[in-house]
Amino acid sequence: MGEAISQIAKWIGFYVFVVPLMLIWILVQMPFAFIEATRKRQRDKRFAASMQAAGRVVSWVDARTQVDSQHGTLVEEFVCAEGYRLWWTPEYVPDVCPYPCRFKSDEATEAKHVDQMLRDGQFERVKELKAAVVAEYAASSEWCRSRYTSPESGTALLVDIARSDEQEWMHYLTGAAAGRRFIHIETN
């Protein structure tokens, strides 16, 4: 009985010490997170303005209409430290890219495998799998970056997703509507 009370007292002491520390940590981090989010929005606005000035912007409605009509390709670009950008090119990328493309529709299958591995506690295997996928498509990502999404040499148009279009875009992104006309690249 005395040992049980001792164990309970240890846990209470732990929570009395750790929970306030966690709350203090969160409160200290909140202003930094807010500042970083504000900086990212400003960088995104500057980038969009530079693409607008270069004549390289298209509305979500126009890009989706083209893709739904089987014209062109959506290119979802993940840029390290910047996040995601969505582009549209009038070319059908799989026909002109000399490397295999990573289709957005294939990510759902990959996600199911990753979810299962995480449930099974295979965290290292998940890291290895993600690294292998990035390596497998590195050549096509670099090729697409150079040809389509590079601010200096690219030809694709940045898709302007208005706030009113965000929900529709997210539904489109997670669905299979675009099929083989929606690819994903990762760049540095």
Contact 151, 77 (CB under 8 A): no
The predicted structure's pLDDT at residue 179: 67
Q: Considering the entire predicted model, what is its pTM?
A: 0.75
Residues 6 or more apart whose Cβ sits within 8 Å of residue 134: 186
User: Which pLDDT does position 134 carry in this prediction?
Assistant: 83
Q: Is the pLDDT of residue 89 over 90?
A: yes
Kindly give the pairing relationship between strand 83-89 and strand 157-160.
antiparallel
Amino acid at 183: I
Give me the pLDDT at residue 187, please: 80
Structural tokens at position 65: 């209409």
Over residues 107-137, the pLDDT tens digits come to: 667 777 777 777 888 888 878 888 888 888 8
| Structure confidence at residue 104 (pLDDT) | 72
Tokens at residue 125, please? 């295997």
More confident residue, 107 or 187: 187
Number of Cβ atoms within 10 Å of the Cβ of 66: 19
Angle at 93 (CA atoms; ends 186, 83), nearest 5 degrees: 25
What pLDDT is attached to residue 174? 66
**pLDDT tens digit string along 143-178?**
999 999 999 999 999 999 877 677 777 777 766 565
The arrangement of strands across the sheet holding 83-89 comes to 57-59, 157-160, 83-89, 73-79, 182-187
* Contact (Cβ atoms closer than 8 angstroms) between residue 80 and residue 188: yes
CA geometry: angle 188, 145, 84, nearest 5 deg: 60
pLDDT of residue 132: 84
**Mean pLDDT of all residues in 45-55:** 94
> Looking at the chain, how many residues does it have?
188
Which one-letter amino acid corresponds to residue 74? Answer: L
The residue ranges of every structural domain in the chain are 1-53, 56-187
